[in-house]
């Protein structure tokens, strides 16, 4: 399969070059040339498939035969090797717990897959690949840990100073080796702008091979479709129908993956795009006018995005037809006070502990769910990653998994940069050359 640029559908690339370069030559994002509808045979056997097997059956349409099917089956089984359970929270709402991977966040799925695909494609490339990634929280830890120790790949994680939790920060600043953490004196949007500027710097690209591990890379966001199929299978087995999925949304790669799964035949009734007060997309869904805005810091920091890169992909999926988009997606933004009150309410009534991002998903579902529908919200991060927020609200300690404790005991190793591109460029060149 070929992949086209969101800036020009006639500009296409093969899989290997799309993964290695991340962005198209005209700076557009890559999209699959076609989206296949899954055959009936897949649905017949879906209830008995593991997460890795679902990954193989769904993603092979995009990644094979460039990766031979036998090798690809091994790759998906290795990447998707941890539980992703659908857990009842109330009679009408369940959580898809995506935080049982190595870094306790949903991005482990995409990052582990991307790291394995990238390692395969760069094995005989002849020069190092330099991965630039901006993070507002969990992306940095998932990508850093996914690529840790991969030969021929250097990873640079840009994050906004003081705007990620201490737990999140320790997960990518304590690794060393081929991972460089860069603390930027600015916001996540500044970090994302710096990464985009680097990709547009032809002089830098003459010296280094650059790629991205943010969800702008198709091998990062496409594998996230896998857990939508897995969640559907579990929900049906639990006796649920008329399933609505709520996606806490920041850069919108997660929702994009779910919508591609939907176009492949996933029989989810509709999607809810839940944001914090960075509500560019919910406003667009009402007005039809997209207006980027400076990001605002919130307790759900991984969603603090004022200009989500992946929304253009959603527009492409629906051919920029607002009516068609609104038939499948509704948008809702959640105020900070509602995040806090939802965490408390759900803990008091259901004894279930939400993190701030999951609280947004739960709150949005309860506002939008119709009689007879069953809602699934994506629980994207373990609540132990946000102890200062969560423990104060529920008035008890959140148990820390052992793998999280190991990160917290590590020594922080960082480079520092302002939000000026030339300063960042010097840091990257000093480390990479």
Active site residues: 107
Residue 87 parent element (H or E): strand 86-88
Residue 181 parent element (H or E): strand 179-184
Say whether 95 sits in a helix, a strand or coil.
strand
Query: Which residue shows structure tokens 């799964």?
Result: 261
Whether 306 contacts 280, CB under 8 Å: yes
One DSSP character per residue, 228-278 reads HHHHHHHHHHTT--SEEEEEE-SSSHHHHHHHHHHHTT----EEEEEE-S-
Whether 351 contacts 87, CB under 8 Å: no
For residue 370, give the nearest of 242, 228, 238 by alpha carbon: 242
For residue 418, give the nearest of 254, 221, 190 by alpha carbon: 190
**Apex 382 CA angle, 170 and 98, nearest 5:** 115
Q: What angle do helix axes 356-368 and 336-350 make, rounded to 10 degrees?
A: 90
* Residue 347, both tokens: 């803990």
How remote is the C-alpha of 41 from its chain's centroid? 29
Whether 213 contacts 183, CB under 8 Å: no
User: What is the C-alpha to C-alpha distance for residues 164 and 223, in angstroms, rounded to an integer?
Assistant: 25
Whether 296 contacts 304, CB under 8 Å: yes
Whether 173 contacts 181, CB under 8 Å: yes
Pairing of strands 414-417, 129-134: unpaired
Alpha-carbon distances of 207 from 103, 130, 425, rounded to whole Å: 32, 11, 11
User: What is the C-alpha to C-alpha distance for residues 232 and 378, in angstroms, rounded to an integer?
Assistant: 12
How remote is the C-alpha of 150 from its chain's centroid? 21
Other CB atoms closer than 10 Å to residue 99's CB: what's the count? 25
Whether 251 contacts 301, CB under 8 Å: no
* Residue 57, both tokens: 């059956």
């Amino acid at each position: 399969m070929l992949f086209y640029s969101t800036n020009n559908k006639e500009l296409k690339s093969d899989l290997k070059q799309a993964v290695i370069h991340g962005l198209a030559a005209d700076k557009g994002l890559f999209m699959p040339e076609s989206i296949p509808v899954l055959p009936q045979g897949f649905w017949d056997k879906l209830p008995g498939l593991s997460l890795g097997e679902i990954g193989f059956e769904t993603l092979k349409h995009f990644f094979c035969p460039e990766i031979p099917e036998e090798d690809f089956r091994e790759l998906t089984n290795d990447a998707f090797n941890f539980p992703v359970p659908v857990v009842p929270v109330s009679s009408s709402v369940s959580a898809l717990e995506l935080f049982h991977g190595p870094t306790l966040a949903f991005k482990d799925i995409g990052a582990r897959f991307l790291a394995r695909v990238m390692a395969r494609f760069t094995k005989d490339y002849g020069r190092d690949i330099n991965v630039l990634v901006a993070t507002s929280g969990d992306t940095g830890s998932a990508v850093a840990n996914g690529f840790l120790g991969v030969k021929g790949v250097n990873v640079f994680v840009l994050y906004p100073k003081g705007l990620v939790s201490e737990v999140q920060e320790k997960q990518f600043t304590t690794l060393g080796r081929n991972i460089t953490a860069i603390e930027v004196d600015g916001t996540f949007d500044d970090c994302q702008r710096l990464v985009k500027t680097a990709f547009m710097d032809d002089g830098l690209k003459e010296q280094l091979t650059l790629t991205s591990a943010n969800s702008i890379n198709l091998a990062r966001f496409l594998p996230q479709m896998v857990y939508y199929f897995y969640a559907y299978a579990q929900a049906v087995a639990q006796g649920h129908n008329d399933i609505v999925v709520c996606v806490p949304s920041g850069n919108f790669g997660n929702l994009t993956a779910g919508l591609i799964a939907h176009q492949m035949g996933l029989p989810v009734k509709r999607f809810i795009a839940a944001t914090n007060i960075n509500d560019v997309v919910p406003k667009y869904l009402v007005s039809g006018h997209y207006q980027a805005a400076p990001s605002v810091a919130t307790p759900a920091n991984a969603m603090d995005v004022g200009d989500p890169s992946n929304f253009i992909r959603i527009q492409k999926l629906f051919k920029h037809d607002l009516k068609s988009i609104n038939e499948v997606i509704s948008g809702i933004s959640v105020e900070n006070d509602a995040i806090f009150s939802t965490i408390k309410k759900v803990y008091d009534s259901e004894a279930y502990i939400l993190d701030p991002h999951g609280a947004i998903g739960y709150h949005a579902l309860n506002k939008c769910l119709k009689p007879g529908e069953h809602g699934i919200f994506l629980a994207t991060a373990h609540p132990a990653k946000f102890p200062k927020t969560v423990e104060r609200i529920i008035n008890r300690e959140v148990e820390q998994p052992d793998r999280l404790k190991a990160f917290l005991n590590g020594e922080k190793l960082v480079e520092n940069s302002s939000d000026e591109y030339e300063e960042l460029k010097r840091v990257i060149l000093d480390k990479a050359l």
